[in-house]
Structure 1
């Protein structure tokens, strides 16, 4: 992705589009935290390696054992049932495992879009989107598995030469560069897809900003998530993204202008886009410190100068231990005169719910 200086016509598009969605940026504490995480290595991929029929036979796995303890995820490719651990509502097998399985059958295919994102370590979104592979012009693409999208391209050989190989368990698995991967995601998300709309629900927020269509919101969610996987501290280069030929300059500028690498979940992205125009100075991952100087937590979003903190509460906040922690956070922030807003999925369900949430945030901002 890079942090290159934006020049030429792309700069003008960038400057013209950025004010439409006043962005936020990660706190300085979080940026330092990301740098430390980057030193620790890439996000972990699924531990279980897909195996071919020949490999299972060589390992002494009988047909009965294969039937009872393994799932076929591609023709002649299996994974143990214990590997099926995904939050997807539409799939049983993690996306990265499906990409690895396809690679075992077709090692010349080049992963891009959400297939490459899964291997790069994207921890959400990839389980509900088509997994795209680039193939040569003459390759057969008829009747792929429902989770696959095979795309012919005359650029296949050139893209292979510049490909990344991010999976140490499959060093021959080739993925397009990060910029090409993101551009492919954005292009896919701007193409009509009723199936994707049903699996990946977001509100239409065009009443807030004209460009906040569901397709644009999903594109920013994908960009946020990919930046997280890459351990980026700032959005990538508009110039580099446009040079991939996957997306036009205005779209690239708009998506990267609205990207915040501090978003650690897709609802946090929706929340940010829903409120980012209400006041300047919005930051993500705002640290909250105890009296002894140790870190208590980080607010998902906030205006530190105004003492307003927003937390997105997922299902885990219903647990007793988490509720106790949340109470400690609330007491600490209120002790300093801060205001805390807790946001749930229901607050982001549709335009009316978002408008009610915006009213609460306006009141808190004063």
Structure 2
């Protein structure tokens, strides 16, 4: 657990801990947009499915004793996530992240948020914790989960995954808070714009282990604004908008009004955000190629000759017939490879150029430059 403190007025006095503004930030206009086909499906899908949160609620020691769980069984079959609160060990997440980094905590962040609220119901979740409760599927597993607490609160021993931030304006925050958990309406979170601003602020702070657990290349020599911090901020913004299930990028004015992030950084991140990014590598790939030609679209539908949907390209330029797909690990499976071959044949039959991108092509500056040159050649640049 870490403890911070904010002072001043809520609207304009939240103290920020940020470096000087970067000179090479993107303009407020976005370099790409999802297709209308995708936006229609995206919004309808979220409306039907809703926010996907785990059903595994933390259990108190008293509840477990009442259910007949012995002390020996508690030690063997349950994992303590906060003082007096447990989950079964079969609900733990893998020991390592997708990047191979040892997980700091192997519990779904929504469960951790629910546990802390159960222990301290007066605290208000924000940042990565609030984003996880809104359906964001990435990042919150490894980042600190932030709660606002009253300035005079006594804070005893808390788990290391928490960031408790004292503020004199807790009641004002409570008045504007939202309830993101239908199973627990008493759990309050900061509004979406405030939540995003807190995450962007945290990512601007120095964290020595972040480069290990959340690996992205420094591409400032390719595009000056693509430093690691900015890439991560756009990845978070993309993932947060995906979790919210909204078809439009949030308002710059509302984000700036929260005073959680500098106006230039807010404009740059929202300008680079696209709700059509369904994975963090897709975000990185888009940032790498977005300046090669105007008209980049994400989630382009690909139809069979009979008019039925075959798949959607992660991004591309339809007018140039250039399509990019990011191939994750599941593309090594035979069934997926057969499907990918059908996609390739369909697009090529209509004169399309298809690029299937792997993680290795996004790791280093040299690989990125080589990729950009290949795509530029296909675009006729």
Structure 1 distance, partners of 2:223, 2:371, is 16
For structure 2, the 5+ residue unaligned runs are 1-23
Structure 1 distance, partners of 2:67, 2:275, is 43
- Alignment TM-score, normalising by the size of structure 1: 0.92
> Of the candidates 47, 54, 58, which is equivalent to residue 46 of structure 1?
54
Q: Which has the higher helix share?
A: 1
Bigger mean CA offset, 65-74 vs 256-265: 65-74
> Of the candidates 309, 312, 323, which is equivalent to residue 309 of structure 1?
323
Structure 2 distance, partners of 1:143, 1:305, is 59
Number of the residue aligned with 1:213: 227
> Secondary structure of the equivalent of 1:194?
coil
> Secondary structure of the equivalent of 2:299?
strand
Paired residues of 2:123 and 2:147 also in contact (CA < 8 A): yes
Query: 1:139 deviation in Å?
Result: 2.2
| Structure 1 vs Structure 2 CA RMSD | 1.8
Bigger mean CA offset, 98-107 vs 140-149: 140-149
Q: Between Structure 1 and Structure 2, how many residues are aligned? A: 352
> Of the candidates 59, 63, 72, which is equivalent to residue 71 of structure 2?
63
> Secondary structure of the equivalent of 1:111?
strand
Paired residues of 1:21 and 1:276 also in contact (CA < 8 A): no
User: Superposition pairs for residues 56-205 of structure 1, below 5 Å?
Assistant: 56-85=64-93, 88=97, 89=101, 90=103, 91-141=105-155, 144-205=158-219
Structure 1 distance, partners of 2:156, 2:85, is 19
Paired residues of 1:21 and 1:277 also in contact (CA < 8 A): no
Query: 1:58 deviation in Å?
Result: 2.2
1:332 matched to 2:340: no
> Of the candidates 11, 30, 33, which is equivalent to residue 25 of structure 1?
33
Query: 1:42 deviation in Å?
Result: 2.4
> Of the candidates 296, 308, 316, which is equivalent to residue 294 of structure 1?
308
> Of the candidates 242, 261, 268, which is equivalent to residue 282 of structure 2?
268
Bigger mean CA offset, 22-31 vs 222-231: 22-31
For structure 1, the 5+ residue unaligned runs are 1-15
Q: 1:41 to 1:244 in 2, by over 3 A?
A: farther
1:37 matched to 2:35: no
Query: 1:197 deviation in Å?
Result: 2.3
Q: 1:142 to 1:202 in 2, by over 3 A?
A: farther
Bigger mean CA offset, 56-65 vs 19-28: 19-28
Paired residues of 2:81 and 2:159 also in contact (CA < 8 A): no
Structure 1 distance, partners of 2:68, 2:360, is 51
